[in-house]
């Protein structure tokens, strides 16, 4: 039975991917830190969709956590969704360097290592897909978070080019503001964000899977964010930095 492994699978975009993929009948491996939430999510998916769901508790900010997921991926999966991620509260010098390094561990090192673990089996079987969840922030100037997501985009594009197998696809997913727990966990005040800029997590997952199937290498769901990314290429970088540093960066 085809199997998908999803990191950060208990909430937000990760949970939306789990629901959408289960609807297609794929078995699931759910990865997150919270065992209780993992078991609750797994039971709901089994009941609602009749699929097999394996839970894998792991903290991707720790070597042991990454290694556990690497081991599972080497056993073979058909789809990997590298979704785990978080934001830090404050601007660069306000955030402890340990917290920034933890972010890079999850956003960059874990994505690299898990892709490295999954890809050989996919190439051998001549089928498979990897979705690395980045952000529209990758195209703006937004501190360590934006820089880490820019790395995800560049890395994904490079790997997609190097695979050279039309049945093995690698894609970076770049949503904008999505109704999830992400901003609340980071203690962001998002009250000033216009409603038109908010996306639904289920819509993001749906669009991403469609784009992956079509072979898109960088998926930007929704017309409004396609416009944002397009315009960002023509706006002077110093102006982009000033605007993006003020947007969504207010904290409680």
Q: What is the pLDDT of residues 96-118, one digit of tens each?
A: 999 999 999 999 999 999 999 99
Catalytic residue positions, numbered = 145
Question: How far apart are the C-alpha atoms of 216 and 211, rounded to whole Å?
Answer: 5
Residue 18: give its domain's CATH number.
Answer: 3.40.50.720
Q: Is the pLDDT of residue 237 over 70?
A: no
* First-to-last C-alpha distance (Å) of the chain: 46
Of 19-23, 71-75, 77-81, 183-187, the range with the lowest mean pLDDT is 183-187
Domain for residue 64, yes or no?
A: yes
Q: Which residues contact 223 (CB under 8 A, 6 or more apart)?
A: none
Q: Is the pLDDT of residue 29 over 60?
A: yes
SS3 percent helix, strand, coil of the chain, rounded to 5, is: 55, 15, 30
Q: What is the pLDDT of residues 146-158, one digit of tens each?
A: 999 999 999 999 9
From the DSSP assignment, how many helices (H) and strands (E) are in the chain?
Answer: 10, 9
Q: What is the pLDDT of residues 85-96, one digit of tens each?
A: 998 877 788 899
Domain for residue 218, yes or no?
A: yes
- What residues make up the domain containing 79? 3-246
Domain for residue 150, yes or no?
A: yes
Q: Is the pLDDT of residue 214 over 80?
A: yes
**Per-residue model confidence (pLDDT) at position 250:** 44
Domain for residue 229, yes or no?
A: yes
Q: Is the pLDDT of residue 248 over 60?
A: no
Q: Is the pLDDT of residue 239 over 80?
A: no
Q: What residues pair up with 132 in beta bridges, in sequence order?
A: 82, 172
**Per-residue model confidence (pLDDT) at position 167:** 97
Mean pLDDT calculated for residue range 123-142:
93
Number of folded domains in the chain?
Answer: 1
Q: Is the pLDDT of residue 242 over 60?
A: no
**Per-residue model confidence (pLDDT) at position 182:** 54
Confidence of residue 241 (pLDDT cuts 50, 70, 90): very low
Mean pLDDT calculated for residue range 217-226:
91
Exposure string over 144-171, b if 16+ CB within 10 A, otherwise e: bbbbbbbbbbebbeebbeebeeeebbbb
Q: Which residues contact 134 (CB under 8 A, 6 or more apart)?
A: 149, 150, 152, 153, 156, 172, 173, 174
Mean pLDDT calculated for residue range 25-49:
98
Domain for residue 221, yes or no?
A: yes
Q: Give the three-class secondary structure for 156.
A: helix
Q: What are the phi and psi torsion angles at 149 (to 5°)?
A: -75, -30
Domain for residue 251, yes or no?
A: no
Mean pLDDT calculated for residue range 120-129:
97
86 DSSP assignment: -
Domain for residue 252, yes or no?
A: no
Calculate the alpha carbon distances from 100 to 4, 74, 103, 107 in Å.
29, 29, 5, 10
CB atoms within 10 A of CB 40: 13
């Amino acid at each position: 039975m085809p199997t998908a492994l999803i990191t950060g699978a208990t909430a937000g975009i990760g949970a939306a991917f789990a629901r959408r993929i289960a609807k297609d009948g794929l078995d699931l491996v759910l990865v997150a830190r919270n065992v209780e939430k993992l078991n609750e999510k797994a039971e709901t998916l089994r009941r609602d969709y009749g699929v097999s769901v394996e839970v894998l508790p792991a903290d991707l900010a720790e070597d042991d956590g990454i290694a556990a997921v690497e081991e599972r991926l080497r056993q073979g999966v058909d789809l990997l969704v590298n979704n785990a991620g978080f934001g830090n509260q404050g601007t660069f010098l306000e955030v402890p360097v340990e917290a920034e390094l933890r972010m890079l561990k999850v956003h960059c090192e874990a994505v690299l290592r898990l892709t490295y673990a999954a890809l050989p089996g996919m190439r051998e079987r001549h089928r498979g897909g990897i979705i690395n969840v980045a952000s529209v922030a990758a195209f703006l100037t937004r501190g360590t978070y934006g820089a880490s997501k820019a790395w995800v985009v560049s890395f994904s594009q490079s790997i997609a080019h190097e695979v050279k197998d039309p049945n093995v696809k690698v894609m970076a997913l770049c949503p904008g503001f999505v109704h999830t727990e992400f901003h609340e966990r980071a203690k962001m005040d998002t009250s000033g964000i216009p409603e038109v800029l908010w996306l639904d997590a289920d819509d993001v997952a749906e669009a991403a899977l469609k784009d992956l199937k079509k072979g898109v290498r960088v998926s930007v769901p929704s017309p409004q964010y396609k416009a944002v990314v397009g315009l960002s290429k023509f706006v002077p970088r110093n102006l982009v930095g000033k605007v993006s540093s003020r947007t969504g960066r207010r904290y409680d």
